[in-house]
């Protein structure tokens, strides 16, 4: 049992991190007070609208990245020890990540400073799918070109 828990612990901790990022603390208004000054310092001549777009891009990249990592951790938790890549584990990892993304967006609908967006959930799921495609490609390359 302890071994299974050790396999799942990173994914569970990452899910907790995702949930924490869905709170008021990480709303657009709060992150802009951190990122906009940094972006202004990095790009002192940039138009304020450009800085806002950069902030938007950072926030959307975070969606993709956090679910890319989550999907990798889910795959790690689902796979059986010392087994090669399996499509069913990739599908389950993607399904769990997509479901968690939908629940996360639903949660955000109850946070006054946040908005729930199906587009954000789609972006999250795209990040999770990209992770599984990368894992599948990596497994295919390793199988095709063994050391």
Print the domain residue range for 114. 2-24+64-144
How many CA atoms within 13 Å lie on the side-chain side of 42?
10
Is 49 among the domain residues? no
CA dihedral 67, 69, 72, 74 (to 10 degrees): -60
Of the pLDDT bands very low, low, confident and very high (cuts 50, 70, 90), residue 26 is low
Count up the domains in the chain and report the number.
1
Q: When comparing pLDDT for 142 and 28, which is higher?
A: 142
Alpha-helical (H) ranges within the chain are 2-21, 28-42, 48-78, 87-108, 118-144
Of the pLDDT bands very low, low, confident and very high (cuts 50, 70, 90), residue 29 is low
Is residue 8 within 8 A of residue 71, CB to CB? The reply is: no
Mean pLDDT calculated for residue range 36-44: 86
For residue 101, is pLDDT > 80? yes
Is 41 among the domain residues? no
Q: Is pTM beyond 0.95 here?
A: no
Is 118 among the domain residues? yes
Is 130 among the domain residues? yes
Is 18 among the domain residues? yes
Is 11 among the domain residues? yes
Closest CA to 126 of 101, 104, 106, 89: 101
Contacts for 48 with CB less than 8 Å, ≥ 6 apart: none
Is 37 among the domain residues? no
CA dihedral 25, 30, 31, 35 (to 10 degrees): -140
CA distance 133 to 142: 14
Is 56 among the domain residues? no
């Amino acid at each position: 049992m302890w071994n299974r828990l050790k396999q799942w612990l990173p994914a569970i901790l990452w899910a907790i991190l995702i949930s924490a990022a869905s709170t008021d603390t990480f709303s657009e208004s709060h992150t802009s007070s951190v990122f906009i000054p940094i972006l202004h310092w990095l790009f002192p001549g940039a138009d304020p609208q450009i800085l806002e777009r950069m902030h938007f891009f950072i926030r959307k990249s975070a969606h993709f990245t956090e679910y890319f990592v989550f999907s990798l951790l889910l795959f790690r938790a689902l796979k059986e020890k010392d087994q090669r890549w399996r499509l069913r584990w990739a599908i389950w990892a993607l399904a769990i990540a997509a479901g968690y993304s939908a629940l996360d967006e639903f949660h955000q609908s109850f946070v006054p400073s946040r908005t729930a967006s199906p587009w954000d959930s789609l972006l999250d799921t795209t990040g999770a799918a990209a992770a599984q495609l990368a894992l599948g490609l990596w497994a295919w390359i390793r199988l095709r070109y063994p050391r």
